[in-house]
Structure 1
Amino acid sequence: MDNLYELMLVGNSKLSEAEEKKLEGKIADFLKNKGKILKKSLFGKKELAFPIKKEASGNFWLYNLQLISTEVNPFSQKLRMEESVLRFLLIKNPEVKTKNKTEPVVKVKKEKKA
C-alpha cells in the first residue's frame, strides 16, 4: 500500500552542482519502482544551529513522496549510508480528513396573494 511521506534532507553544503544532481538522482533511482516524488523543493544553503558532522551549514531539500510502506526502512538505510547527507527526517503525512459538506439551507419565501 502506498502512503504519503515527507522527507526533509540536509546535505553537505560543500557539494558541487553535479554532486547535488547525483544525490537527487540516487533518491529518484531508489523510488523508481517503489514510489514516486510528488514535489521537490530546494531551500538552498542555510547556517545550522549547531555543527553536524563538523559542518556549520547545509543545503536543505524538502520532498513529498509516495512510497510503499515496506520500503521505508530500506530507503532510510540508503540515506544513512550516503556520505553527502548530513541528516534527514522521514515522516508519514497524515491524510487530511474533511467533513462532509452539508447542503446550505435555503428559505422559501411565500408569495403574497393579491
Structure 2
Amino acid sequence: MNNYELMVIFTPVLSDEEFKTAQKKYADYITSHGGEIVHSNPWGLKSLAYPIQKKTTAIYWVLEYSAPSDFNEKFKVQMNRDDQVLRHMITALDKYAVEYNAKKRSGVKNTEPEKAAE
C-alpha cells in the first residue's frame, strides 16, 4: 500500500449536501477497492488563480489515503467522468511527507531546537 494525497476542485454550484455526497462517493470508492482513508480536509469555497470553464471560484477538498499502486489509474478515470470535478491531482507521498502531515494534524510543533541568533 502506497500513500497518496488527492486534491479535488469541484464546481462552485454544488450545495453543501452535494459536496458531502461527492466526498463520500470518492471515499467509498477508495475503501471499496482496498484503500484506506487517512485524513479528509474539505477546504470549502476558494478563489481560483485563473478561470476554469468560466468559473472564478471552486470548492476544494484534500484527501490523504493509502491504496494499492494500481488503483490510481482506475480512480483517475472515475474523476475524469464526473462533471462536478473541474480538476484533480494525485500526489504520491514519501515517508517524510506522511510523517509531516501526521505531525501537522496533531498540532505538534517543530521539535528541533531553535538556533541562537549570532
Q: Do both proteins adopt the same fold according to a TM-score greater than 0.5, normalized to the shorter chain?
A: yes
Alpha-carbon deviations, 1:56-114, whole Å to 9, x = none?
1001111111111111100011111111111011010012299xxxxxxxxxxxxxxxx
CA distance in 1, matches of 2:45, 2:11: 9
- Tell me, which stretches of 5 or more residues in structure 2 are unaligned? 100-118
More strand per residue: 1
- What is aligned with 1:44? 44
Q: Which runs of 4+ in 1 moved over 6 A?
A: none
Scaled by the length of structure 2, what TM-score is found? 0.76
Structure 2 residue 87 is the aligned partner of structure 1 residue 54: no
Cα RMSD (Å) of the superposition? Answer: 1.7
Number of residue equivalences: 97
CA distance in 1, matches of 2:25, 2:79: 9
- Tell me, which stretches of 5 or more residues in structure 1 are unaligned? 99-114
Scaled by the length of structure 1, what TM-score is found? 0.79
More helix per residue: 2
CA distance in 2, matches of 1:16, 1:86: 16
Query: Larger Cα Rg: Structure 1 or Structure 2?
Result: 1
